[in-house]
Amino acid sequence: MIQLPDLHISTLPLALEAEIQHKIDQKAKPLGSLGQMERIAKQVAMIQGTLTPQLTKPVMLTIASDHDICEEGVSPCPIEITWQQCLNFLHGGGGIGLFAAEYGFDLLVVDAGVKYDFEAHPKLIDAKVRKGSRNFRHEPAMTMEECLKAIQNGRDIVASIHAKGTNVVGFGEMGIGNTSPASALLAVFTNCSVATCVGPGSGLKPEGVLHKGLVLQEAIDKHGISDDPLVNLSRFGGLEIATIAGGMLEAAARKMVIITDGFITTSALLVAHAIEPRMVDYAFFSHQSQEQGHKRMVDFLKGEPILDLGFRLGEGTGSAVAYSIIKGSVAMLNKMTSFDEAAVFNTANVAKASCKI
């Protein structure tokens, strides 16, 4: 199995869990009454190994690439939309341009493999490995060299933002046709049938979804499924998916808070998890996408989506919106008054479930 160099991801400090939980339970509220926010606060505290976690300089990485699998009619949209939307994001447009600004992210657009030559821009990172992944119905999407280069690019980008003080990274993507590699990776890594992994993406009609599934099944039958996750990624993935997977692994190694978006970024998380299972402890599932395979991904990874708003846009929009909940959860842990501070009788020791404040 191919190994990634210098990748060391720590197990979360379980010895601290009881102390964090005690601090949460001493807040002036009924036990467990803030639901998921209590779970989120505890996870952030364990990631950082402290009772007083801090979220600093959040960055959104929207990573883009094109896909030659589109030659098979798996998307109703022209591939030119990829580069056009990237330019839109760079000028603050699109859903992610709006939400990144609204929720306090520094948005960076990463060109991992777009079929376009961008002019330099302060918010654009040139990490282009090649112009688009290959048509994996006929040949592997990437050579192993290209796949490893994309993964290393993701690692290097995250290392760079971490060095500038960022400890929160959200991931988004842009790439016409990229629900096809994501669906193929879901089928390969979870052994689900292709039919249960494929959805309409950006607007396929039922007959288009059926055709897409047949194309992906033919590709999987042609290339086979490897025991090595990197081989599977190179066969069926995309350059943005590989870059995101590398970024997620590096973020976990650096004990950063990782916020995934929807179907595509969670397919990258599937890959990263297969490479190093411990990394999923550093990830937050921002929302439940409407793309049908996303729930299968989340369930396989034993995740719990923070939001369910009917999103299926991508770009990192779910990651940005969910950050407000993560931020509030950490504020609860750090700033919410305790029973002692509020001079309120601590109900934690009596009638836990029945007491109301």
Segment holding 259, helix H or strand E: strand 257-260
Is residue 315 part of the annotated active site? The answer reads yes
Instruction: Given the residues 145, 218, 315, 341, select the one marked as catalytic.
Output: 315
CB 58 within 8 A of CB 104: yes
106: left (phi over 0), alpha (psi -120 to 50) or beta: beta
Place of tokens 């639901």: 35
Using left for φ > 0, alpha for ψ between -120 and 50, and beta otherwise, residue 177 falls in left
Question: Tokens 């040139």 map to which residue?
Answer: 126
Distances (CA, A) of 39 to 43, 44, 87, 119, 163: 6, 9, 37, 43, 28
Q: What does DSSP say about strands 59-65 and 106-113: parallel, antiparallel, or unpaired?
A: parallel
Other Cβ atoms within 10 Å of 283 Cβ, number: 24
First to last CA, the chain: 56
Torsion 36-41-46-47 (CA) sign: positive
Catalytic sites, residue numbers: 315
